[in-house]
Structure 1
Amino acid sequence: MSFIDGLMARTPAPVQRLALRHHELIKFALVGGSTMIFDMAIFYSLSLSVLEQKPVVAKVIASTLATVLSYFLNREWAFKNRGGRQTHHEVLLFFVISGMGVILQAAPLFIANNLFDVRNHASVAQLVVIDFVLGYVIGNVLQLAFRFWALRKFAFPETQGHEDQEIEALATGQVTFDENKPASQSDSIS
């Protein structure tokens, strides 16, 4: 039994049903949280050093690198049971959608820096807080909602009727939480 299966077995039934019903959203959020930390490390490394006067450029670079990592994590874990597209179409759609997400995420920083000129009126400590709120709170909410909807709809579409069958199989225990394969065929994974 995998770690996730063991955790799900100890979860109260109402919470378990909710988690099973929204397992893609939960996985997508975990991938997003991981890539957000990766993004923040790159962004602050750049914006507090070589790109100090160009925080939007630093944000776009950090977001782009985080997007590449996000593709692999989403493809191999969060949306691994979706598809139906050829890989090159899926990759193209993922990066177009994610590119739109990068623009949505950078928009609050762009507005603050170019319309309100906050860089010239704030201390370094204030800029760190402003950049965090604009780029990681407001920007992430915008891009997260858009990307989850668009990735499920376009890049990783479900096969017709597959999701309802999958949820029913998960809820009845015929499929493990991690692998979405019959329990007798499940491979052990994290």
Structure 2
Amino acid sequence: MIRRIVTLLAWIKTEEGKKAFRYSLTSVISAVISQLAFLALYGLSILGAKYSSISATLIGAVPSYFLNRYWAFEKKERNHFFSEVVPYFIMAVLGLVASTWSSDFADSHRSIVGNSRLAQIIWVDGAYFGAFAVLWVAKYFFLRKFLFGRDQKKSQPVVDTSN
């Protein structure tokens, strides 16, 4: 167990480990923001499940983009609207569609958990959160490969193996 912890800590110090760790923390921050928004809007009956999900996802997407771009993937140059912002928000819309469908479906079937409003809120919120959890790993690889990681490491030294 200690060896695994030491190995994990050593990996977090690598460039890839640092990005993955920061991406994870960014996801936690964004998830907390989205969850609080969803729970406030749905739990206080301000909006139904569908519109609470849409609103919460949009609220969490903005800090997620900036934290991922500038902190997790350490991009410092100017934002590229069509090659970064648009694909990022298309990805956010996919999450929005999944979470909206999931929370609306759970809300339509909330009687499964009984008549307790608290149990129903937890049920619907779990469906909302679960949709994002499923997409979380795929999103990391997409961000790393296509959005924020593609221009990095272009200037790596070439190793001559002909000798």
How would you bin the TM-score normalised by the shorter chain?
0.7 to 0.9
Confirm whether residue 75 of structure 1 aligns to residue 69 of structure 2.
yes
Confirm whether residue 49 of structure 1 aligns to residue 44 of structure 2.
yes
Distance 1:151 1:82 in 2: 15
Instruction: Note if contact 2:42-2:121 (Cα within 8 Å) is conserved in structure 1.
Output: no
Q: Which residue in 1 is equivalent to 2:143?
A: 151
| Structure 2 counterpart of 1:135, from 120, 128, 132 | 128
Instruction: Note if contact 2:73-2:149 (Cα within 8 Å) is conserved in structure 1.
Output: no
Distance 1:153 1:118 in 2: 42
The answer for unaligned runs of 5 or more in structure 1 is 1-11, 166-190
Distance 1:63 1:109 in 2: 12
Instruction: Note if contact 2:57-2:96 (Cα within 8 Å) is conserved in structure 1.
Output: yes
Instruction: Note if contact 2:38-2:125 (Cα within 8 Å) is conserved in structure 1.
Output: no
Give how far 1:92 is off: 0.8
What do the CA deviations read for 1:84-114 (whole angstroms, capped 9, x no partner)?
x961121111111111122223332222234
- Which structure is higher in RCO with an 8 Å CA cutoff and minimum separation 6? 1
Change (3 A) 1:112 1:159: same
- What amino acid maps onto 1:104 in structure 2? A
Distance 1:15 1:153 in 2: 22
Distance 2:36 2:49 in 1: 13
Give how far 1:120 is off: 9.8
Q: Counterparts in 2 of 1:28-47, with a 5 A limit?
A: 28-47=23-42
Q: TM-score, normalised by structure 2?
A: 0.76
Q: Counterparts in 2 of 1:1-190, with a 5 A limit?
A: 14-19=7-12, 20=14, 21-52=16-47, 54-81=48-75, 87-89=80-82, 90-114=84-108, 116=109, 118=111, 122-136=115-129, 138-159=130-151, 162=153
| Pairwise CA RMSD | 2.9
Aligned-pair identity (%): 19
Give how far 1:36 is off: 1.2
The answer for unaligned runs of 5 or more in structure 2 is 157-163
Aligned length: 149
Distance 2:113 2:6 in 1: 54
Instruction: Note if contact 2:144-2:150 (Cα within 8 Å) is conserved in structure 1.
Output: yes
What do the CA deviations read for 1:138-184 (whole angstroms, capped 9, x no partner)?
22212212321222233224237x28x5xxxxxxxxxxxxxxxxxxx
